């Protein structure tokens, strides 16, 4: 695990948020569940610059409150699902 991934998880733990927490998405009646940890690890496969942008955005969401963190991971999870579905259907 690289330093940026560790920092993302540390930021969550400092606010007593379990990285194993998850968000459910309903896509055409099918429920998809993504954990915060999965979302972090998926985004950490990007370039160094993208990883830093993700970390900075996560830190900013932490300044809002628990709802800010929830919204952050909801948005990031939606992006992952849209990317996955567009790849799957060749959109």
* CA distance readout (Å), 56 to 9, 50, 72: 13, 10, 11
Supply the pLDDT for residue 86: 67
Residues 79 and 21: their CA atoms lie apart, in Å, by 18
pLDDT at 18 over 90: yes
Backbone dihedral angles phi then psi of residue 3, each to the nearest 5 degrees: -65, -40
Per-residue pLDDT, averaged over 15-38, amounts to 92
Other CB atoms within a 10 A radius of the CB of residue 8 amount to 25
For all residues of the chain together, what is the average pLDDT?
A: 89
Confidence of residue 84 (pLDDT cuts 50, 70, 90): confident
pLDDT tens readout for residues 36-66 = 999 999 999 999 999 999 999 999 999 887 7
């Amino acid at each position: 695990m690289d330093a940026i991934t560790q920092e993302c998880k540390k930021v969550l733990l400092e606010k007593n948020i379990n990285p194993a927490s998850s968000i459910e998405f309903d896509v055409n009646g099918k429920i998809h569940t993504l954990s915060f940890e999965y979302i972090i690890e998926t985004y950490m496969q990007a370039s160094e610059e993208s990883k830093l942008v993700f970390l900075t955005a996560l830190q900013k969401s932490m300044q809002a409150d628990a709802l800010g963190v929830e919204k952050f991971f909801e948005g990031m999870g939606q992006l992952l699902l849209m990317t996955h579905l567009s790849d799957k259907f060749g959109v």
